[in-house]
Amino acid sequence: MNRGHVVVIGGGLAGITAALDCRERGYSVQLVEARARLGGATYSFARGDLLVDTGQHVLLRCYTSYLDLLRRLGVADGIRVQTRFRVPVISPGAAPATLTRWNLPAPGHLAPALLGYRRLSWAQRARVARTALALRALDPDDPALDGQSLGQWLRERGETPQAVEALWGLLAVAALNAPPENASMALATRVFRTGVLDVADACDIGVPQRPLSELHGEAGHRALLNAGVEVRARCKAGTIRPDTNGFHVRVDEPAGERELVADSVVVATPHRAAAGLVADLPVRDAEAWARLSCSPIVNVHVHFDRRVTDLEMAAVLDSPVQWVFDRTRISGARTGQYLALSQSAAEREIGMRTEELREVFTPALNELFPAARRARVLDFFVTREPHATFRQAPGTAALRPAARTDVPGLVLAGAWTATGWPDTTEGAVRSGIRAAEVVDSQQRSRTSVEVTA
């Protein structure tokens, strides 16, 4: 049965999910993607003998929709989730600390680790416990929360700058790609409640064990073709024109320009591209989407000629390095050790040249890992994503649109839409699921009106 025809614009995780779900609901689907590959913001490239991910995409066990998508794509084994949350926290010249959870019901699962977290004084640890309980009582969907920053809220609870830096900020900067002073308290509440405080095992960290292009773009492409979706890569959507029967989508592809005709259109592009695509349509507040702005992520990649650390992953304090990941096995490196340093909210680093970054990060690694001083650097390179996420600042909840627009049949998806989640792989997948639900409910009500008319 064909319930109608859907064009999905954008082949990131949101578009892949929306296309698969629409197909499963009985629609014929075309997915158009401007680039030569699917996967959107998540991709890998070859450099020498390394397969490099442009960003380290970690997840939490509470990313249920994303993990379910990977099962549907047949690549669930490409993720390893810790059996129990454990993050080493290292800093130059100091004994490492560990953040971990115990097998206790929430929120007690974190109490032993907090008690043993030597980066904070006893008074600071007691304060953190009280603050965590207060945070647990907040509602992430409360619009008032979005008016303030995590930093301000923590200060009002008496959290010291050291506790913010060594604990709250450590997690928030990575999760929200924003420092606590610029992070929406509503999104921070979502991260800390859903990801850390409410359910004991929600915080277990998952790390992709295969390059992201394999996990998302290639597996997604295969699954879409198997499901019967027509995938048009190198196909950039230009304008969307509605008529009485649906939509005409003008696309530009290597063979030339053409028009696709659809009953429904899902726009699953980043927010600025989406605003451009709907600019001529009566979609309320589209011009405000630009105010979501962007936050950069920079990854510094260092390939040593030998092992310099046994850590697979660590958070770093008192150093320019934020997080370090051992990518040796996953990248297929044949010699030495390949580390990726992931720098979120990288406003400073995004404008620095590779040589300048080398001058900062080589000594920083030497301080963290003494074995690095004797190692030779085989390769040092940088990947910069200036538009990695939208700026997850106070006031952005009001700017994030719902999937349903004012134009029936025109539906939005993308990690930047109003999922209630931060700009994450989980948010992207949830937005795709929601977009397919809206397409289906609108199409059903339209066809039932036509039948009764």
Ligand X SMILES: Cc1cc2nc3c(=O)[nH]c(=O)nc-3n(C[C@H](O)[C@H](O)[C@H](O)COP(=O)(O)OP(=O)(O)OC[C@H]3O[C@@H](n4cnc5c(N)ncnc54)[C@H](O)[C@@H]3O)c2cc1C
Nearest residue to 188 (alpha-carbon basis) of 204, 163, 168: 168
State the Cα–Cα distance between residues 246 and 265, nearest whole angstrom. Answer: 9
Q: Which residues contact 137 (CB under 8 A, 6 or more apart)?
A: none
Question: Is the Cβ of residue 30 or residue 91 nearer to ligand X in the bound state?
Answer: 30
Binding flag, residue 436, ligand X (CB under 6 A): no
A 10 A CB-CB count for 274 gives 23
Nearest residue to 120 (alpha-carbon basis) of 75, 164, 77: 164
Closest contact distance (angstroms) between CB of 425 and ligand X is 4
Site for ligand X in 56-85 (CB under 6 A): 56-59
Contacts 24+ apart (CB under 8 A), 131-134: 131/157, 131/158, 131/159, 132/107, 132/192, 132/197, 133/107
Nearest residue to 321 (alpha-carbon basis) of 330, 311, 329, 331: 311
Residues 150, 163, 382, 415: which binds ligand X (CB under 6 A)? 415
Stretch that binds ligand X, among 33-41, 67-75, 218-226, 329-337 (CB under 6 A): 33-41
Confirm whether residue 356 is marked as ligand binding.
no
Site for ligand X in 259-288 (CB under 6 A): 268-270, 273
Question: Is the Cβ of residue 138 or residue 429 nearer to ligand X in the bound state?
Answer: 429
Which residues pair with residue 135 across a beta bridge?
none
Question: Is the Cβ of residue 176 or residue 186 nearer to ligand X in the bound state?
Answer: 176
State the Cα–Cα distance between residues 229 and 293, nearest whole angstrom. Answer: 32
**Cis omega before residue 92 (within 30°)?**
no
Binding flag, residue 10, ligand X (CB under 6 A): yes
Distance of CA 218 to the CA centre of its chain: 18
Question: Is the Cβ of residue 199 or residue 273 nearer to ligand X in the bound state?
Answer: 273
Closest contact distance (angstroms) between CB of 58 and ligand X is 4
Q: Is 82 helix (H, G, I), strand (E, B) or coil?
A: coil
Site for ligand X in 12-31 (CB under 6 A): 12-15
**Burial of 28 from C-beta contacts in 10 A (0-12 / 13-18 / 19+):** middle
Stretch that binds ligand X, among 3-11, 104-112, 134-142, 436-444 (CB under 6 A): 3-11
Residues 8, 41, 314, 357: which binds ligand X (CB under 6 A)? 41
Question: Is the Cβ of residue 269 or residue 309 nearer to ligand X in the bound state?
Answer: 269
State the Cα–Cα distance between residues 6 and 380, nearest whole angstrom. Answer: 44
Binding flag, residue 236, ligand X (CB under 6 A): yes
State the Cα–Cα distance between residues 359 and 353, nearest whole angstrom. Answer: 10
Amino acid (1-letter code) at residue 13: L
State the Cα–Cα distance between residues 46 and 214, nearest whole angstrom. Answer: 12
Q: What is the DSSP letter of 446?
A: H
Confirm whether residue 34 is marked as ligand binding.
yes
Site for ligand X in 337-396 (CB under 6 A): 385, 388-389
Binding flag, residue 218, ligand X (CB under 6 A): no
Question: Is the Cβ of residue 33 or residue 326 nearer to ligand X in the bound state?
Answer: 33
Closest contact distance (angstroms) between CB of 314 and ligand X is 15
Stretch that binds ligand X, among 188-196, 199-207, 363-371, 425-433 (CB under 6 A): 425-433
Binding flag, residue 32, ligand X (CB under 6 A): yes
Closest contact distance (angstroms) between CB of 374 and ligand X is 31
Question: Is the Cβ of residue 128 or residue 266 nearer to ligand X in the bound state?
Answer: 266
Q: Which residues are annotated as a binding site for FAD?
A: 33-34
Positions that interact with ligand X (CB under 6 A): 9-15, 32-35, 40-42, 54-59, 236-237, 268-270, 273, 297, 385, 388-389, 414-415, 423-428
